[in-house]
Structure 1
């Protein structure tokens, strides 16, 4: 299952993404496939998972290897003329290489590292070399390509820490998830991001689960219920465990406060209850690809990228078993 953590900057979405990934690693059956991805240009997920700052800044960045990612995923797909003709929304088709949450492939070998017992890939920071010449969405495009080619199942987890606010709506990235957790503080500003997010998401059938954070008392819960209604799934209170981690003293996940551990388990239940709809998933990928092609990508590549769409292809487990797909 693909899981997104979104919310206002400073709401605690990265902290919650890390806690959830660590909870899954500790409490899911041994060997459960799990991958964490930091899709936020403000790269903090590695540190939240237990890396020190020096280790975090040396992690290989997906955004720096976009050409290699495209070349691998393109495979032998005859509809894609070259890796250069691939854009962030290019959907897979017959001949494309697909990904599993856990497997041996050049992308994972080069770009995934284990941090605190969690396999992690990072988009990479927006650097001084990018100023004035690049958009950070070009870096996050590597994440969109990976998710568009990822075949995951129940009991498999890809946990993605997204950009703050509603920036993910600049592409179709917000439709790439089975569960979206919007981390919301009991404040008007945080609720404002919720309203903006669900307003966009509703048009595409994206269900948003609100997870309250930094909740101190019943009045905070009541405030959240008043403003987000039935979208409020659960909430986490102020945490000495989190404060210690943020001060450089991480503790085992089982020492998290019981009420907060229960909230993480409620979130996992919501993920496990989600249903996969590969037909809709593929259709939405094609929809955003065609929109991007017409808006800018055709001009940039000099090709009609609508031709990249394989009308008979549906992403999912059946595609993995198809002899027409070259997975080597």
Structure 2
């Protein structure tokens, strides 16, 4: 299952994305062992590595997806006859017959080059928005690497891809927001935070995106009442202010067993909710094609110099039947 964490900047979405990823990484379900897991930092503020326990120096050494977009395109293109070259691929290019697909876990050139283990979690990062990008580049070009990966990533039950997204409604600058089976919107009990919630669901619901609100920094029942008043039935659960989380944010993460029992129950509910989602691969591909055609008309045809509608493979649906490498 593909899972995103979104919310207002400062709401704690990165902290909760890291907490949930570490919770999954340390899980040992009966008879199953630890599940296949991949975490991806797609936020313009690259803090997921640090939240997972990387030092500043270790985080700086993580290879960036955005700096290897050409290699990613060349690999995922595979032998798809509808794609004339890797240079003709854009962030929304959907897969088709002949494309290469990635598993959540496994051995392939992309993961070997760009995925590293941090705090027990396999992590890929988009890379920072550097000084050389200021005024001349858009961060969504870097995040395009994440969109391409997710378009070509085949996940099954009990497998998890956890993505820390850009803050606020900035996620809607591309079709990336449709790539998830469950979206957890982290919401503080404040008017600004619930304002982001309203903006997000206003866009997401038009595309059938499943949004679940996770309250954060809850101090007392009045905070829960406030969230219920403003988000209603979308409130899935909440986490209280946490000594455990504070320690992790100060660079001293403990084993997940040290988490407060009530907050552990909240993470259990997040996982149960994810596992209950029904994956619709046909709808997944349909959204990919829709946003690809929009981007083709808006800018991509002119940039590439060809009609990118031809990259769409009619009737193709990804899923567990396609070979992954």
Look up the match of 2:18: 18
Aligned mate of 1:216, from 209, 216, 219: 219
| 1:67-78 matched pairs, under 5 angstroms | 67-78=70-81
Look up the match of 1:272: 275
Aligned mate of 2:195, from 169, 192, 197: 192
Give the drift of 1:176: 0.2
After superposition, the C-alpha distances for 1:14-43 in whole angstroms (9 at most, x for unaligned) are: 000011011111124424110000001211
Look up the match of 1:255: 258
Aligned equivalents of 1:137, 1:295: Cα separation in 2: 15
Unaligned regions of 5+ residues in structure 2, if any? none
* 2:68 counterpart SS class: helix
Look up the match of 2:106: 103
Give the drift of 1:103: 1.1
Aligned equivalents of 1:106, 1:150: Cα separation in 2: 14
Look up the match of 2:207: 204
Give the drift of 1:138: 0.2
Aligned equivalents of 2:299, 2:83: Cα separation in 1: 17
Aligned equivalents of 1:128, 1:312: Cα separation in 2: 43
Look up the match of 1:37: 40
Aligned equivalents of 2:148, 2:28: Cα separation in 1: 27
Give the drift of 1:163: 0.4
Aligned equivalents of 1:128, 1:303: Cα separation in 2: 32
22-31 or 307-316, larger mean C-alpha shift = 22-31
| 1:229-244 matched pairs, under 5 angstroms | 229-244=232-247
Length, aligned pairs only: 322
* 2:81 counterpart SS class: coil
Question: Does structure 1 residue 125 correspond to structure 2 residue 125?
Answer: no
Aligned equivalents of 2:128, 2:288: Cα separation in 1: 26
Unaligned regions of 5+ residues in structure 1, if any? 321-326
* 1:317 counterpart SS class: coil
* 2:278 counterpart SS class: coil
Q: TM-score under structure 2 normalisation?
A: 0.98
Q: TM-score under structure 1 normalisation?
A: 0.97
- CA-atom RMSD in angstroms: 0.9
* 1:318 counterpart SS class: coil
